C-alpha cells in the first residue's frame, strides 16, 4: 500500500465516501433482502442510465445535478409506476417492472446518439470514487443520513409491512405509504452510490451486505446493522486495496463484498456449505 496516498485529499475523500455510502447502502440492503426484490433493484439501477441521458438531453450538458435529478426522475417513474400498476392485482410487480424498465432503457438508448457525451457517461455507468467532488460527498452524506434516520424511526411499521402486510394494515400501519417510502429510499440509495460504483455496480452495494449477514444470523436487526458494517468496512478496505492490485476502486468494492459473501456461503457456522451441521440440518428438514 502506498502511504503517501493517505495524505492525498482526493484519496481521503474517496475513503470517507466509500465508508459512508457502504454503511448506508449496506444498512438498506437489509430491506432489499427482506423484500426479496434484488432483481427489481437491478432493474431500477439500469433505469438510471436513460434518466441521466434524459437529463443531459434536456439541459444540454452533463452536471452532477442534472444527472442526479434525471436518474432520480426515471427511477421513481419506473419504480413507483410498477408499484402502482401492480396494485391492480392483475399484473405482478416484477412483470410491470420489467416492462417499464426495458421501455425506459430503450428510450435511453434512443437518446444516446443525440447527446454526444458518451465518454463521460461511462463514468456514470461504473463510477469513479477517486474523482468525487464536494457536491457528491454532500449528496451521499445527505441521502445516507436520511435513509438511516427514516428507516430507524419507522423500523417497526416497516417490518410489520414486510412480514404481514394485511395484519399491518389492520393495525393502522399505512401500508401503501410504507411501500412507496421503501421504494423511494431505495432509489435515493441507488443515486447516492452513482459516484462511487456507478449505476450498474450499485446493485452489489444494495444487495450483497445483508445477503452475507443472512447467512450468518437469524436476527432481523443484525441484517441492517451487520449489513451496514460489512458494507462500510468492506468498501474502505476495497478502496485501500484497489491501488495495490491495480484495479479501479468501484469494481474493487463490489468484488470484495462478493468475496465476503462467498466466504459466508462456504464457512458460515450455521448455514455454510462446509459447516459441520449442514448435512444433518438438511436431513432434519426432509423428515
Partner 1 sequence: MSDDHHDCCDHHGHHHELVIENVSVSYRRVLALENISLATSCGNRVALIGPNGAGKSTLLKAIAGLVPRETGSILWRGTTVKKWSREFAYLPQREDVDWSFPITVRGLVEMGRYPQTGWWRKFSTTDSLAVDKALESLGLLDLQDRQIRELSGGQQQRAFLARSLAQEAHVLLLDEPFTGLDRNASQLLGELLNKLAHEGRLIIASHHDLNSVPQLFDEVLVLATRSVAFGPVAEILNDDLIHKTFNERAIPK
SS3 287: coil
Long-range contacts of 1-6 (CB under 8 A, 24+ apart): 1/240, 1/241, 1/243, 1/244, 2/243, 2/244, 5/243
In whole angstroms, the minimum distance from the beta carbon of 107 to partner 1 comes to 34
Q: Which of residues 223-242 bind partner 1 (CB under 8 A)?
A: 223
The number of residues that bind partner 1 (CB under 8 A) is 23
Cα-trace Rg, the chain: 20
Per-residue DSSP letter, 216 = T
Among residues 120, 219, 244, 269, the one that binds partner 1 under rule CB under 8 A: 219
Report whether 210 contacts 225 (CB < 8 A). Answer: no
What Cα–Cα distance (Å) separates residue 138 from each residue in 13, 135, 145, 192, 251?
A: 11, 5, 10, 10, 22
Considering only the stretches 68-76, 98-106, 168-176, 248-256, report the one whose residues sit in contact with partner 1 under the rule CB under 8 A.
168-176
**C-beta closer to partner 1: residue 63 or 221:** 221
By CB under 8 A, tell whether 100 contacts partner 1: no
Whole-angstrom distance, CA of residue 85 vs CA of residue 99: 11
By CB under 8 A, tell whether 171 contacts partner 1: yes
Among residues 60, 172, 246, 276, the one that binds partner 1 under rule CB under 8 A: 172
Among residues 58, 153, 247, 274, the one that binds partner 1 under rule CB under 8 A: 153
By CB under 8 A, tell whether 148 contacts partner 1: no
Whole-angstrom distance, CA of residue 239 vs CA of residue 256: 10
In whole angstroms, the minimum distance from the beta carbon of 98 to partner 1 comes to 23
What Cα–Cα distance (Å) separates residue 77 from each residue in 40, 73, 122, 198?
A: 14, 6, 23, 20
In whole angstroms, the minimum distance from the beta carbon of 179 to partner 1 comes to 15
By CB under 8 A, tell whether 4 contacts partner 1: no
Binding residues for partner 1, rule: CB under 8 A, are: 33-34, 153-154, 156-157, 159-160, 162-164, 166-167, 169-172, 214, 217-220, 223
Amino acid at each position: 500500500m502506498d502511504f503517501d496516498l493517505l495524505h492525498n485529499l482526493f484519496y481521503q475523500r474517496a475513503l470517507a465516501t466509500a465508508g459512508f455510502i457502504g454503511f448506508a447502502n449496506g444498512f438498506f440492503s437489509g430491506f432489499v433482502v427482506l423484500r426479496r426484490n434484488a432483481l427489481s433493484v437491478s432493474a431500477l439501477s439500469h433505469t438510471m442510465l436513460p434518466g441521466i441521458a434524459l437529463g443531459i438531453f434536456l439541459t444540454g450538458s452533463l452536471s452532477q445535478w442534472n444527472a442526479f435529478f434525471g436518474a432520480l426522475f426515471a427511477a421513481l417513474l419506473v419504480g413507483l409506476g410498477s408499484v402502482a400498476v401492480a396494485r391492480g392485482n392483475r399484473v405482478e410487480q416484477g412483470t410491470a417492472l420489467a416492462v417499464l424498465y426495458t421501455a425506459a432503457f430503450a428510450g435511453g438508448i434512443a437518446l444516446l446518439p443525440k447527446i454526444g457525451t458518451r465518454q463521460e457517461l461511462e463514468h456514470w455507468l461504473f463510477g469513479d470514487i477517486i474523482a468525487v467532488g464536494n457536491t457528491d460527498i454532500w449528496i451521499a452524506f445527505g441521502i445516507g443520513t436520511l435513509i438511516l434516520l427514516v428507516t430507524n424511526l419507522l423500523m417497526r411499521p416497516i417490518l410489520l409491512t414486510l412480514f404481514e402486510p394485511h395484519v399491518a394494515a389492520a393495525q393502522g400501519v399505512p401500508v401503501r405509504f410504507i411501500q412507496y417510502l421503501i421504494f423511494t429510499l431505495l432509489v435515493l440509495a441507488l443515486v447516492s452510490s452513482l459516484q462511487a460504483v456507478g449505476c450498474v455496480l450499485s446493485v452489489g452495494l444494495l444487495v450483497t451486505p445483508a445477503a452475507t449477514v443472512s447467512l450468518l444470523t437469524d436476527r432481523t436487526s443484525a441484517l441492517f446493522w451487520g449489513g451496514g458494517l460489512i458494507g462500510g468496512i468492506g468498501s474502505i478496505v476495497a478502496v485501500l486495496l484497489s491501488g495495490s492490485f491495480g484495479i479501479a476502486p468501484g469494481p474493487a468494492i463490489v468484488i470484495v463484498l462478493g468475496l465476503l459473501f462467498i466466504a459466508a456461503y462456504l464457512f458460515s457456522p450455521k448455514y455454510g456449505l462446509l459447516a459441520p451441521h449442514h448435512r444433518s440440518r438438511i436431513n432434519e428438514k426432509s423428515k
